[in-house]
Amino acid sequence: QVQIVESGGGLVQPGGSLTLSCAMSGNIWSIHTTYWYRQFPGKERELVAGFLAGGGTKFADSVKDRFTISRNDAKNTVWLQMNNLLPEDTAVYYCNAEIGTNWYTSGNYWGQGTQVTVAS
């Protein structure tokens, strides 16, 4: 089984920075593509950033040039560095990953989410 736990959320002032961590544990053979999503109250979850095969990254237009995604497979950890935060970034942030649990099987896993609140 694989477990994903997000951490690092909290309250930050507009213009500030915050880094979220996504710790993956359990029966991990390999880590494929990993994503950060966020969900605003009353709305559907939306994709924020992705860390792709070969180290490529992609970002939603709303966070381009402000957020950075990074990953260290040896530590089974993904980070989302958020800079120049806006009140509009307030949401619950989720980590999602495609993980191989053996050499021939992979699955999709979600964390429980961490709250980010941007307010003065």
C-beta neighbour count of 33 within 10 angstroms: 16
Paired residues of 37 in beta bridges? 47, 94
| 8 A C-beta contact, residue 107 and residue 101 | yes
- Residue 33 is predicted with a pLDDT of 96
pLDDT averages per 10-residue partition of the chain, 120 residues: 96 98 96 97 96 91 97 96 98 97 96 97
Q: Give me the sign of the Cα torsion angle 118, 88, 5, 69.
A: negative
For 31-60, how does the pLDDT look when each residue is reduced to its tens digit (9 = 90+)? 999 999 999 999 999 999 999 978 899 999
